[in-house]
Amino acid sequence: MLNRLYPATATATAVDDETLLHWYAPPAGSDPFVRFNFVSSLDGSATHAGLSGALGGPGDKRVFSLLRRHAEVILVGAGTIRAEGYAGELLDAPGQAWRASQGMAAHPRLAVVSGSLDLDPDGELFSASPHRVLVLGSPGAAAARRRALSRVAEVIDCPTDGDELTPAGIVAVLSGLGLRMIHSEGGPRLFASFQGAGLVDSLCLSLAPKLAGGSGRRIASGPSRPELIPLSLRLLLEQDGELLAEYRRP
């Protein structure tokens, strides 16, 4: 059973999905809202055996699914797509029904960040998606890759800084398509770039009561910065020793 530790409650009671969805709801309004969701081991690894799924417990998996319900677009880096796979429907039937009851499309859009457009156009990522996948790439990407992907996806050029797409450009492109609630599941480089741009509005982080060892990557991987970025704790849940926190920009 998920227990809410912060804000504190007088008694421990079972938390239903509607309550969780209310707690995690993005703010009302027209401004873009960027949320990242990760799980980490106690010793700081975001993966075990190359994948994140083995780290999260039942509470993490439940919240992971519910967070997607709020998304207008799920934003994922190409490396995470290759490692984790994102083919097919990203929401279960109850999630689709809930979105329909809220006047939302049954499925959020999926946007893949790949500056070089290095994705397999014949993969199930594209053939099994309920929506045409958005591929965010660099204007300088190879023309042959652009042609191949354009047959199966909506390829959109984003502003770049050197070889990297800019987070501000990504947000501008997505919000220009009416996709205000941006929900990202990584990877670490994408998260680090959004940190550096000051565009992380919400971080949902599950701390698994497990030690992963090895040399797994952290949830963020990028250049060091001289300043720390403060966030405010909004919500803290616990189930079977696993902590699930949401931090938001003050």
Answer left, alpha or beta for residue 247, where phi above 0 means left and psi between -120 and 50 means alpha.
beta
Note if the pTM is more than 0.85. Answer: yes
> Per-residue pLDDT averaged across 151-172, rounded?
96
Residue 247 near residue 234, CB atoms below 8 Å: yes
At 214, is the pLDDT very low, low, confident or very high (cuts 50, 70, 90)?
confident
Token pair for 218: 């952290």
Residue type, 225: R
What are 166-177's pLDDT values in tens digits?
A: 999 999 999 999
CA distance 48 to 54: 6
At 223, is the pLDDT very low, low, confident or very high (cuts 50, 70, 90)?
confident
Q: Hey, which residues does 157 pair with through a beta bridge?
A: 137
Closest to 67 in 3D by CA, of 29, 17, 32: 17
Domain 30-223+230-248 fold: Dihydrofolate Reductase, subunit A (3.40.430)
